[in-house]
Structure formats: structure tokens, C-alpha cells
Amino acid sequence: MKNRWAQGIPPRNFTWVLKDQLAVSERPGGYSRNHRSVRRHEEILWMRHEGFTRIVSLLPSTHNLHAYEELGVVYSHVPYSATDDPRTCLPPIFRSLQTWLDNGERLLLHREELGDEVMGVIAGYLLWSGRLASAQQAISAAEHLLKAQMGPPGRELVAAYPSWSDAAPTPDSE
């Protein structure tokens, strides 16, 4: 029984976006008043056991970063707030995700909770990276993967795609 607990527990709402490459979840340990440091510890142990090479925090705050450091987990803090301008914030986030994935990293991306903003970021990344051809396909894929309907904040983020798409990768830029 001890070995089972040493492997930790998966974070809530854990979902693969790109199988064995990119996953999303809510903040390890839970969010807001539901946050539990013991649960956070168990979830970070699980991420290490599952071979995640980098945790990507979209939290506007630095919550959890100390826990990653204490447990020797590589992380990147790329804050994204619903009030941020997606035209300036998203391209650098997407380029970082692409670089890490191209380098063979296994990523877990999170924010406080797995809501519209994370769904919008995921849909935007799938569109930006050329994995999907239209905003509607990207929104549908995110909704299907995360088993939830994307609300206005996520849809508005994806709808802004033409204004930040000039930073999209092209076959010539690789």
C-alpha cells in the first residue's frame, strides 16, 4: 500500500490534449478555499511519477511555485489573466509550448481551475500550431477533450485569433 501512495494521485480534471505530450488540469492541490497542501504534494508526486518534465503555470500569481521547487520539479510560470490582451500574451506562450514539445518535453499546463480561459488557451494553441484549421474546430476539440462547453471568455480568446495569428509557425520557420 505504501508504494501506491508514493506514486501520488492525479490532479483534478486531468486531461490529455496531445496524448503523452501535453495535458491540462486544475491547479495542483485545488483552487481557492479548496486548496490543500497535502493534496498538492500528492499530485506533484504523481506528475513526477508519470514523467512530466515541466509544469506550466498560467496563474497570474506565484502560487505553487515554491512547492515545485521543493520537490525538484521543473516549472515555467507564464502568467495569463482574463484581462490580458491575447494579441500580446498568447504568441509567446504558444511559442514556448511549441519549443518545449519540439524538445520532447512532457507538459502539464494549469491555471487555478480548468475553466473557459484554459479551454480558450488550449483551443488557441491547437489553432495557432496548425493542428486544427478553424476556430470552430479548435473550440469543438477543446469542448470534446475537456467534456465541457466553452463559455464566452474562451470563445472570445479564440475569436481574437486573426489578430495574433501573424505569430503562428510556418513550415518555412522551422
Record the cell numbers describing residue 84, joined without a space: 490580458
The answer to whether position 38 is within a domain reads yes
The answer as to whether 121 is a domain residue is no
* Domains contained in the chain, number: 1
Instruction: Confirm whether 70 is domain-assigned.
Output: yes
In this prediction the pTM is 0.87
Q: Is residue 42 assigned to a domain?
A: yes
pLDDT digits (tens, 9 = 90+) for 56-85: 999 999 988 999 999 999 999 999 987 888
- Mean of the per-residue pLDDT values of the chain: 88
Of the candidate ranges 3-7, 16-20, 41-45, 126-130, the one whose mean pLDDT is the lowest: 3-7
CATH number of the domain bearing residue 58? 3.90.190.10
Q: Supply the range of the domain harboring residue 66.
A: 2-114
Instruction: Say if residue 168's pLDDT is above 60.
Output: no
Q: Whole-angstrom Cα distance, residue 168 to residue 61?
A: 27
* Rounded mean pLDDT, 157-173: 63
143 within some domain: no
Please name the residue ranges forming H helices in the chain: 2-6, 37-49, 65-70, 86-102, 116-128, 135-146, 152-159, 161-164
Write down the pLDDT at residue 8: 85
Q: Is residue 154 part of a domain?
A: no
Q: Is the pLDDT of residue 34 over 70?
A: no
What 8-state DSSP symbol labels residue 134? S
